[in-house]
A and B are shown apart, each in its own frame.
Chain A
Amino acid sequence: MRGHGFWSDVKKYRTLLLMLVPGVLFFLLFAYIPMAGIVLAFKQFNYSGGIFGSPWNGMDNFRFFFESGDAWRVTRNTALYNIAFIVVNNLLQIFAAILLFEVAGKWFRKITQTVMFLPYFISWVVVGAIAYNLFNYDVGTINVLLNKIGMESIDIYNTAAYWPVILVLVSAWKALGYGTIMYLAAITSIDTEMYEAAEIDGANIFQRIRKITIPNLMPTIIILVLLAIGNIFRGDFGMFYNMVGNNGLLFSSTDVIDTFVFRSLITSNEIGMSAAAGFYQSVLGFATIMLANYAVRKYDKDHALF
């Protein structure tokens, strides 16, 4: 009997369990315990009461967000930007990973990987400053070049229409290296015998990519996309704030929930209202990930997260 008890299982898988501990601790400390702070969304926060002692105020904290008339606009912007980021970034990353895999030459591959990875380490503050020096109307690099070849300056910072494109490109540029490495690792783990067999059967390189690489990548793609979908209602604050700043002319096409809430509440320091907005994002995110996972399960049970 002793051989099949709970404790003997613990003993049997102790190494695996030990490896699990840091991850569990991380989520316990930074995700589960702070979750109690959600109560702030329903409280009128004051310092003497603290998180748990402050008086309740029902749904008052949510009024600010929904009465602003901007709730729909910023929610839509957030979701659309994230969908664009997920599609564009993943396609580019898969494409780059397949190219790198097929290209021979260890040195070439390593150097390309490193160069692609570098932007990932640049902080958004720095990217924002670089962008300002590129796009500035009077002295920006792009406009100086345009003037040199006899064209008119373009007023990027005052034209909202350019920004969705700019933001998608910048996001792709920054995330490319990181995602490529993940996909490259997945491709490298595909059984090479399949490629050899295909080659012997006379499949050309495009056929091999279509019939072997992509189907074998599918589980990885689905998991990464599913994880990204859970965050679809969270704007990348660092990116949007540093690229756009407080430029009111661009808000119509660049405002996401996070920047909107930050801007509205930074001067009033209403912790409760910010918590309410965060809660709203979490609820939406939870709903989308449940739906997406349900859809994947319908399609193929093995690929779903849970």
Chain B
Amino acid sequence: MKQQKRRFMFLLAMVFAVSALLSACGGNGGGKDASGAKNANTGSNAAVNSANSGGDQAGPDISQEVKLKMLLVGGKPADYDEVFGELNKLLKEKINATVETEFLDWADWTQKYPLKFAANEDFDIVYTANWAFYNDQARKGGFLELTEDMLKTYMPKTWEAMPAVSWDQAKVDGKLYMVPNNNMEVTDKVVIIREDLRKKYNLEPINSPETYAAYVKAVGANEKGMSAFGAKPADGWKWHELDQALLEQQNEWNLIDYSFPLAYKLTDEKGQLFNVYDTPEFRELLTYYKDLADNKGWSKNIVSNKNDVWQDMKAGKVGSYAQTLGTVGANLAELRRDKPEYEGAIVDLTPDKKKIASISTQNGMAIHATSKNAERSLMLIDLLQNDKEIHDLTMYGIAGKHYEPVGDDRFSAGPSAANYTGFSNWGWNSPLNRKDASYPVEADEILKDWEPKVHHFALETFVFDDSKVKNEVSNVGNVMLRYAIPLEYGLIDDLDKGQAELIKQLNSAGIGKIQEELQSQIDAFLAAQQ
């Protein structure tokens, strides 16, 4: 009896202890994080200050070994341990540090990425990009501000190699939070088609919207079980996937942000905004799309699609899809390797139009605002981007295993290339990048052909601060998903009525207010440049 009582008291005590512990965790979490953040901030500032005062004589102090933590986007490569083990040996030697990487898988990175900041997890370096929360997190205080002194002190090689304009493009409200990649890309979309099918139906080479329509209709009419055009699974993208080519590039417009339909003409130095849905060009394009949809150009269920479009194309279920040149170039190389019976080709539907180069924030690396090792982190990024040995290792893996170096600037895939790929090491793209020797020559030629057509313009680096019109942006996005997408994919029969309804809904969602706010920011941006 006595023993039983004692056992009960013990249990009760345990329960109370555990509950006290748990509730303490829950209650203090926020406070602890906040104070931790403050400390880390002052810590790194102090470190930077001391480095500034004493940096000239001795260079950065690396006597203390540190462990860095890096966040990258993408699946963890199978041979991560091997490659990063090798990397850590080099890092230990060069900057007395090692790095550990956490991968946010493609499937749910958009949800996890902001949470890492919201929960203020412990990490030092993080991949970021204009399409991966850069402006958003910079404004929310997720990244450490990088000063010119820091860059000069801790990443001298990058400071030397990076064009000044790339730094400028990465600034948010005049402050820099990112070490952008150093690599020019063109953002224009092209289309990958099945060249064997084009030849089978004796069609003209595709180089315009009309010749492409002929291809889509021929494939739709004759190839059973195949969609002539395919789109990625609906993930909230608010446009027809040919819009970038057929609406934006074709008319030489530039959409500020794909979350709402406001654009200006590339040639317009004043950057006068207009609603793209309310233009005759859009109305014409709707007729074009409707014609394709009615001729079995794509599946009636394209907006509910759940399959990966490229895999479907490889499986012979899709006849074409649109993406950036880099992606379809890699696709084409893959097709030639895996499916030699299909012949692929890259086609540009708007070959003579002006091209837009991606700005430097297309890829980049940033330092977490609460990192305790900001200096060493910057040194690491410096090495990743501009140290030939480390750059080769982290971009392509181990020579002879994951890749074979071809000369100094090319490579071919090694026997286990598939075990080291698929994540955002593009964050440190640089002139040291090697080109895939199997990368299709056509793709290179298209790029070469584009280079003189690249158009630079005053608003290239303009970034919209949407904090005053967030409600409107959210609501406009909803209207686009609900009214624009079905209209563009030809699922609504009366185009005039559909377009009128779309415009009406956009107006009541507050597109006018966004336009006003955006125009005033553009005007201010242009005025400041003169």
Would B141 and A14 count as touching, CB distance under 8 A? no
Would B481 and A269 count as touching, CB distance under 8 A? no
Indicate which residue in A48, A68, A69, A136 contacts B301 across the interface (CB closer than 8 Å): A136
Indicate which residue in B15, B31, B300 contacts A138 across the interface (CB closer than 8 Å): B300
Known contacts A47-B118, A63-B471, A137-B301: A18-B15 contact under CB 8 Å: yes
A122 interface residue (CB < 8 Å to B): no
Q: How far is the CA of A53 from the CA of B483 in the complex (A)?
A: 39
Would A268 and B236 count as touching, CB distance under 8 A? no
B478 interface residue (CB < 8 Å to A): yes
User: Contact string, B29-70, partner A, CB cutoff 8 A, digits 1/0?
Assistant: 011011001000000000000000000000000000000000
Would A29 and B142 count as touching, CB distance under 8 A? no
B326 interface residue (CB < 8 Å to A): no
* A-side contacts of B481, CB under 8 Å: 246, 248, 251, 263
Indicate which residue in B110, B485, B508 contacts A69 across the interface (CB closer than 8 Å): B508
Would A21 and B15 count as touching, CB distance under 8 A? yes
**A-B pairs under 8 A by CB, number:** 145
Indicate which residue in A21, A136, A249 contacts B303 across the interface (CB closer than 8 Å): A249
Q: How far is the CB of B34 from chain A (nearest CB, A)?
A: 5
* B-side contacts of A139, CB under 8 Å: 225
A33 interface residue (CB < 8 Å to B): yes
When C-beta atoms are compared, the residue in chain B nearest to A261 turns out to be: B474
Would B486 and A263 count as touching, CB distance under 8 A? no
Would A47 and B117 count as touching, CB distance under 8 A? yes
Q: How far is the CA of A47 from the CA of B142 in the complex (A)?
A: 6
* B-side contacts of A18, CB under 8 Å: 8, 11-12, 15
How many residues of chain A are within 8 Å of chain B by beta carbon?
A: 50
Would A67 and B471 count as touching, CB distance under 8 A? yes
When C-beta atoms are compared, the residue in chain B nearest to A251 turns out to be: B482
Would A50 and B30 count as touching, CB distance under 8 A? yes
How many residues of chain B are within 8 Å of chain A by beta carbon?
A: 56
Main secondary structure of the interface of B (DSSP, over half): helix
User: Contact string, A113-140, partner B, CB cutoff 8 A, digits 1/0?
Assistant: 0000000000000001100100011110
Q: How far is the CA of A245 from the CA of B235 in the complex (A)?
A: 8
Known contacts A48-B37, A63-B471, A137-B299: A264-B306 contact under CB 8 Å: no
Would A70 and B478 count as touching, CB distance under 8 A? yes
Would A25 and B22 count as touching, CB distance under 8 A? yes
User: Contact string, B384-419, partner A, CB cutoff 8 A, digits 1/0?
Assistant: 000000000000000000000000000000000000
Q: A33-B23, A268-B470, A268-B474 are in contact. List 5 more A-B contacts (CB 8 A).
A: A47-B142, A64-B475, A68-B471, A69-B509, A158-B491
Residues of B bordering A, CB below 8 Å: 8, 11-12, 15, 19, 22-23, 26-27, 30-31, 33-34, 37, 110-111, 114, 117-118, 120, 133, 136-137, 140-142, 225, 234-236, 259, 299-301, 303-304, 306, 369, 466, 470-471, 473-475, 477-478, 481-486, 491, 508-510
A-B contact pairs, 11 of them (CB 8 A): A33-B27, A47-B117, A48-B141, A50-B34, A52-B31, A68-B475, A157-B303, A245-B304, A249-B491, A270-B470, A273-B471
